[in-house]
Amino acid sequence: MSGSKINFRTMISPSAHENVEYIRSALEGSIDIVIKEFRLGNGQQAASFYINGFINNDMMGRDFFEPLFQANKEKIYTADDIVAKVLKAGNLSVQDNMSVLIDNVLQGLTALFLDGSTIAVMMEAITWPQRSINEPSTDVVIRGPREGFIENMRNNVTLLRRKIHHPDFHVDTVRLGRYTRTDIALVYISSIVNKDVLQKLRKRLESIDIDSVLDSGYIEQFIQDTPYSLFPTIGTAEKPDIAAAKILEGRIAIIVDGSPVALTVPMLFVEGMQSPEDYYTRFSYASWIRLIRSIALFISVFLPGLFVAVCCFHQQVIPFRLFLSIAAAESNTPFSVGFSLLIIGLAYEILREAGVRLPKPAGQAISIVGAIVMGDAAVSAGLISAPVLIVLAITVVASFVTVAFVDAATLLRLIFLFLGWFFGFFGIMVGGIFLLVYLCSLETFGVAYFSPFAPVDLSGLKDSVMRLPLWKLRFRPRSLSLNHRRMARHDKGGEK
């Protein structure tokens, strides 16, 4: 793919010792490079080449070196003979290109050179330290699977394979990063996926030319349609059940080696207000919770701006006693309502960032104690009023209900605060119209971001802000897949 290959020669010498000397020279004697020269049981000169720490030593001794030392003493072996008749390991292949061979060894494979053969044997006996599969800190559910992705790409693909047992489950692999040579897997179901989306994704990945890919976030920034958009147009998943559900709707999962966060494309706006637990519980409660999330998103974006607009321009829309209470509280503060919300909002963002970056015990203490102490002290000192603090608290809590839109809501909240501060309801209304038009104009991989609302997709509306019973969701969203039918027709009792 992108990125130049390591500048090594391509031919493998028939002399095992010559190959060894070339590799030592090319890799400049790195201390983790292990090269062993030895003779087979028949006296034939051989050499192995692998990276220390990537190899399962027990497997190497049992399935690699022991069979080689016990080779037939009256036969000269070729690489094909070694693969077919000598080695016991299952993951064996041959390689005739030195550049590709070194690239594969740096990824964890073991190479075997034989005197008289210009083809090397490649064996996979990879192992390295990795954390166990556990529940991720995000995507937490009360009911549902608890396992989450880890930093190993192959394990993550296996977790998806456990969910989807079908021959159309397909995995493509690419490699990106001139120096990191990071493996990336594209996982999809060939009979469901939108081929146009798949082609666009492959083309965008092929155009990436970068030194390193250390996390899936690198890929996300290169393949999204609108890099300057406030809203996320690439989905994320830290759990196999979430990624599998999206794949079964026609999306493509992008799994990056070294990252526990999988990307899914294309992403729709409505995904930000959905949770995997919505499908594991009764549809009536799931619909209610989705409605709550929609209201919370509205509050997190518009509440500060609306509060400022009411206090500065439209006092007549609130009850007279409530207005007197707010006015009395504000009369004791030196700042305007808008400036108070701006300052206290900035202080909250600083506290939140400190809580995230510090170690967990200290971070939680800073976030909770700092917010309580600072808020109470600011009100007691008369720097801000209690109504302003209450508005900010409600806004902050509401913003975390829709985690996918936390970043977008934070910036939009600031924009609408200024619109309400200087222009009142008129400014908020104009800003809201522009926001709606903007959302309707966004596309991700050729799919309308605001679907199924614009354009209207009746099958998608059944699983949007509200969710109908699962047996009513007979069709996949038409914008995501070519094979729309999800299930056969069922009656209310769930019978065909």
From the list 294, 295, 288, the residue with the least C-alpha distance to 467 is 288
What's the CA gap between 376 and 379, in Å, rounded?
5
Q: What is the pLDDT along the chain (496 residues), one digit of tens a residue?
A: 444 444 556 789 899 999 988 888 888 767 888 899 988 888 889 999 998 888 877 888 888 888 888 877 777 888 888 888 888 776 888 999 998 899 889 888 899 999 988 999 998 887 776 778 888 877 778 888 889 999 989 899 999 999 999 999 999 999 999 888 899 999 999 999 999 999 999 999 999 999 999 999 999 999 999 888 899 999 999 999 999 999 999 999 999 999 999 999 999 999 998 888 888 888 999 999 999 999 999 999 999 999 999 998 988 888 888 888 888 888 888 888 999 899 888 888 888 887 777 776 666 666 666 667 777 778 877 888 889 989 998 998 899 898 889 999 999 999 999 999 999 999 999 999 999 999 999 999 999 999 999 888 888 888 888 888 888 888 888 878 877 788 777 666 555 5
From the list 28, 68, 36, the residue with the least C-alpha distance to 52 is 36
> Which long-range contacts link 203-210 to residues 24+ away (Cβ below 8 Å)?
205/1, 205/2, 205/174, 205/176, 206/1, 206/2, 207/2, 208/1, 208/2, 208/176, 209/2, 209/3, 209/178, 210/2, 210/3, 210/176, 210/177, 210/178
